[in-house]
Amino acid sequence: MGLRQEKFARQLQKDLGDTFLQHKEWVAGQFVTISGVTVSPDLSSAKIYLSLFNTPQKAKVLEAIELYAREIRMEIAKKVKNQVKKVPELRFYEDETQEYAAKIDKLLDSIKKS
């Protein structure tokens, strides 16, 4: 990723985190962490990876985010309007890295015990 992409991705990550804190109904009242953001080279689309670790209703959270995707994009537009000509299309994905790491740790612990 280029420097501009990286800076914009970090800014999006911060702005999305702030937005989710302000509008808890957009994330079904759950604690959601933005674990990563990747932006296309032309800054027209962004993939947002959400960490839903220890969230009991993951499907409900993702459904709520998809339901409010337009409002989320409009809120982000207010914050980044001076940085880009066009607000990127936001696509949300569940980041399963922590769950995968926990599963590996559990498997390693079971191997150590045997």
Is there a contact between 16 and 32 (Cβ–Cβ < 8 Å)? no
Measured from the Cβ of residue 55, the count of other Cβ atoms closer than 10 Å reads 19
Task: Report the pLDDT value the prediction gives residue 1, as an integer from 0 to 100.
Answer: 75
Bridge partner residues of 34 (DSSP): 50
Give pTM, 2 decimals.
Answer: 0.81
pLDDT tens-digit profile, the chain (114 residues) = 789 899 999 999 999 999 999 998 888 888 888 999 999 999 999 999 998 877 788 888 889 999 999 999 999 999 988 888 899 999 999 887 777 778 888 888 888 887
Q: What's CA 41's distance to the chain center, in Å?
A: 19
Task: Report the pLDDT value the prediction gives residue 36, as an integer from 0 to 100.
Answer: 93
| Look-up of token digits 């953001």 | 37
Q: Which two tokens stand for residue 31?
A: 């604690």
Task: Report the pLDDT value the prediction gives residue 66, as an integer from 0 to 100.
Answer: 92
Task: Report the pLDDT value the prediction gives residue 76, as an integer from 0 to 100.
Answer: 94
Query: Structural domain of residue 35, as residue ranges?
Result: 3-113
For the chain, how many structural domains are there in total? 1
What CATH number is attached to the domain comprising 21? 3.30.300.20
Q: Is residue 87 helix, strand or coil?
A: coil
Task: Report the pLDDT value the prediction gives residue 26, as an integer from 0 to 100.
Answer: 87
Q: Which two tokens stand for residue 77?
A: 């537009």
Measured CA to CA in angstroms, residue 86 lies from 64, 89, 94 at distances of 24, 9, 25
Rounded to whole angstroms, the Cα distance separating 39 from 35 reads 14
For residue 48, which of 85, 11, 83, 13 has the smallest C-alpha distance?
Answer: 13
